[in-house]
């Protein structure tokens, strides 16, 4: 990795950290989730970065992929367990980072379990290491605190304009013998829950991603698809962003483009037994044998 690219990865991590800390600092009971998302988006712009993906603001038993739409009515309540999962894009060099807040209250033991699991991974992280060892560390920490790790969510590799690429880094020891990459970027994200430890698709979400070129008859849908490819490339984006540019006609276009598989629509993920979910996440850069936690 040349120095100029490395600097962009590190800048993306630094911005991701700053926005994560800002978001955590402004959360309060009575706040509209949509306002929080817009504040996060404005902060990224203020710091000179695009978003790697729409702000994931998932509450209680919702584990991931909830991002408020243009007409979202959710208001944060005291005691809500809010996952803030965000990332920066600096010329396609990305960060991915998350923290959990108990709205209006101190962190709970469940929150501390996922945070401590990530801290324990940081202590052992090195290029080319056993992925099983990472999963074992996360699982041991979370189960030791009396909770369950989510077995079908986990960390992942990252590459230019690609938030999920390469290896999957589970929150348990799957005993598959796989190794981390020696060079490049990965994210680790321990999820802990009071439930059974398994997430399921619950509803269609507000997050989309370009999937493949398709023949599109509708003129507006064709125009919107070209905009998506130019503006977001292969990164996830929010329905709200497209509606704000094109108006409500974009809703029909996005449905058409999803139906013919030009776009992929992310499902909202919930813990199947209704357990609360906590998440923390950092991005790790491997370069010439050294490890940099870009979002720390």
Active site annotation includes 85: yes
Q: How many residues does the chain have?
A: 296
Catalytic annotation, pick one of 96, 116, 139, 287: 96
Active site annotation includes 164: yes
Q: Which residue stretches of the chain are H helix?
A: 3-26, 33-46, 109-124, 131-144, 219-231, 239-246, 249-259
Q: How far apart are CA 105 and CA 80, in angstroms?
A: 9
Catalytic annotation, pick one of 41, 80, 85, 139: 85
Residue 171 DSSP symbol: S
Active site annotation includes 96: yes
Active site annotation includes 78: no
Active site annotation includes 2: no
Active site annotation includes 133: no
Both tokens of 258, joined, read 């999803």
Residue 182 DSSP symbol: S
Catalytic annotation, pick one of 61, 65, 156, 271: 156
Both tokens of 33, joined, read 């989730």
Catalytic annotation, pick one of 18, 35, 91, 164: 164
Q: How far apart are CA 279 and CA 100, in angstroms?
A: 6
Catalytic annotation, pick one of 189, 206, 271, 287: 189
Q: How far apart are CA 118 and CA 16, in angstroms?
A: 17
Q: Judging by beta carbons within 10 Å of its beta carbon (0-12, 13-18, 19+), is residue 279 exposed, middle or buried?
A: buried
Catalytic annotation, pick one of 116, 139, 271, 281: 281
- Active-site residues: which are they? 85, 96, 156, 164, 189, 281
């Amino acid at each position: 990795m040349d120095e100029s690219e490395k600097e962009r990865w590190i800048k993306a991590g630094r911005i991701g950290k700053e926005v994560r800390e800002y978001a955590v600092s402004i959360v309060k009971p009575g706040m509209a989730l949509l306002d929080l998302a817009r504040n996060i988006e404005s902060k990224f712009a203020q710091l000179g970065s695009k978003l790697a993906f729409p702000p994931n603001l998932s509450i209680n038993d919702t584990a991931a992929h909830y991002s408020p739409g243009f007409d979202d009515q959710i208001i944060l309540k005291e005691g809500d367990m809010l996952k803030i999962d965000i990332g920066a894009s600096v010329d396609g060099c990305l960060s991915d980072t998350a923290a959990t807040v108990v709205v209006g209250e101190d962190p709970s033991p469940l929150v501390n379990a996922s945070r401590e699991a990530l801290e324990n991974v940081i202590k052992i992280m090195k290029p080319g290491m056993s992925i099983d060892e990472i999963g074992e560390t996360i699982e041991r920490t979370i189960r030791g605190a009396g909770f369950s790790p989510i077995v079908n969510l986990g960390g992942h590799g990252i590459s230019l304009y690609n938030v999920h690429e390469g290896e999957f880094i589970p929150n348990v020891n799957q005993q598959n013998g796989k190794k981390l990459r020696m060079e490049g970027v990965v994210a680790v994200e321990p999820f802990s829950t009071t439930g059974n430890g398994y997430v399921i698709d619950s509803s269609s979400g507000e997050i989309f991603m370009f999937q493949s070129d398709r023949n599109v008859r509708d003129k507006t849908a064709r125009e919107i698809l070209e905009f998506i490819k130019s503006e977001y490339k292969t990164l996830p984006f929010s329905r709200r962003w497209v509606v704000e540019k094109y108006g409500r006609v974009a809703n029909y276009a996005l449905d058409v483009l999803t139906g013919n598989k030009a776009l992929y629509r992310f499902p909202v993920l919930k813990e199947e037994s209704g357990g609360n979910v906590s998440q923390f996440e950092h991005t790790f850069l491997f370069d010439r044998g050294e490890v940099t936690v870009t979002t720390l």
